Amino acid sequence: MNKFLNKALQGKVFTVSEIEEAKAILRLVPIWVTSLGYAIVFAQTSTFFTKQGATLDRTIFPGFEIPAASLQFFIGLTIVFFIPVYDRIFVPIARSITTKPFGITMLQRIGTGMLLSVTCMVIAALIETKRLKTAKEFGMVDMPNVIIPISVWWLLPQYVLSGIVEVFTVVGLQEFFYDQFPIELRSVGLALYISIFGVGNFLSSFPVSVIEEVTGGDGKDSWFADNLNQAYLDYFYWLLAGLSAIVFAAYLYFAKSYIYNRPKYN
């Protein structure tokens, strides 16, 4: 691609500045693609986390239960709480170690979030395994509308980790795509950042559809059976953990390559 752009420069079709800006955008493509993989994987959590919560004991005090969907509140609460912790505690400590102004680079911030997303999926899988085991022990496997005798607060770690992941990865991506463009093209950088989550959510139904088709044939319950006690949501979470790990490894490779070839804009 660089050879093609250099030929365009030699033919005086574009200016040097335009060619360099095009190269800058192309260098970002691998980072964008791996970030897209992260968005596809993580888009699943809002739906299935809520579905999990609906089967658990959500009693706060006698006569009052919290709606399963309201558990999403803890993601936002974690973000609000953790951003000051990141800026006032994490960054100074990291700065004292790395001597970098922001403690860690934007690429390192994104990568840390991706690594934490793997941990989040592992925790979600373990909690779902416990939920299924409890349903089996109490003979509730064939009771789709029954409440499993496990407190909904068991789901809190995966919600909190989801919020921390957003502080690292989502904020890091926004900063990165804004910073890596010249001033006159920074709106394009923000558009690329937003497109990660738009395209990721659009494509997120693909793995669910494939798994539904593969595992739900011949009258069998798929991984996403309506009766969650007969489903295999834990398998899906393990699959997401594996996909997150692959995306993280690919991101490390492309991020390292980008560092050696990136342009710098003020």
Does residue 114 lie in a domain region?
A: yes
Report residue 25 as tokens: 């955008």
Report residue 180 as tokens: 């890596």
Does residue 87 lie in a domain region?
A: yes
| CA angle (34 as vertex; 29, 39 as ends), nearest 5 | 120
DSSP-derived secondary structure letter, 140:
-
Report residue 87 as tokens: 């800026």
Cα 157 to Cα 240: distance, rounded to the nearest angstrom: 17
CATH number of the domain residue 87 falls in = 1.20.1250.20
Report whether 121 contacts 240 (CB < 8 A): yes
Distance from the Cα of residue 36 to its chain's centroid: 9
- Give the C-alpha distances (Å, rounded to integers) separating 199 from 37, 192, 195: 10, 10, 6
Does residue 13 lie in a domain region?
A: no
Cα 195 to Cα 201: distance, rounded to the nearest angstrom: 10
DSSP 3-state of 208:
helix
Does residue 74 lie in a domain region?
A: yes
Distance from the Cα of residue 80 to its chain's centroid: 18
Listed residue (126, 131, 191) closest to 157, CA to CA: 126
pLDDT of residue 265: 45
Q: Which phi-psi region, left, alpha or beta, contains residue 62 (left: φ > 0; alpha: ψ -120 to 50)?
A: beta
- Average pLDDT along the chain, 266 residues, taken 10 residues at a time: 52 60 78 89 83 90 84 92 92 90 90 94 95 92 88 93 93 89 80 90 87 80 88 92 92 80 50
Cα 110 to Cα 157: distance, rounded to the nearest angstrom: 20
pTM for the full model?
Answer: 0.85
Beta-carbon contacts of residue 195 (< 8 Å; ≥ 6 apart): 32
Sequence-ordered strand ranges (E) for 45-188:
56-57, 59-61, 64-65, 148-151
Does residue 93 lie in a domain region?
A: yes
> What total number of domains does the chain contain?
1
pLDDT of residue 190: 87
Listed residue (168, 188, 166) closest to 178, CA to CA: 188
pLDDT of residue 144: 82
Does residue 59 lie in a domain region?
A: yes
pLDDT of residue 163: 93
Query: 132: domain range?
Result: 26-260
Does residue 18 lie in a domain region?
A: no
Does residue 224 lie in a domain region?
A: yes
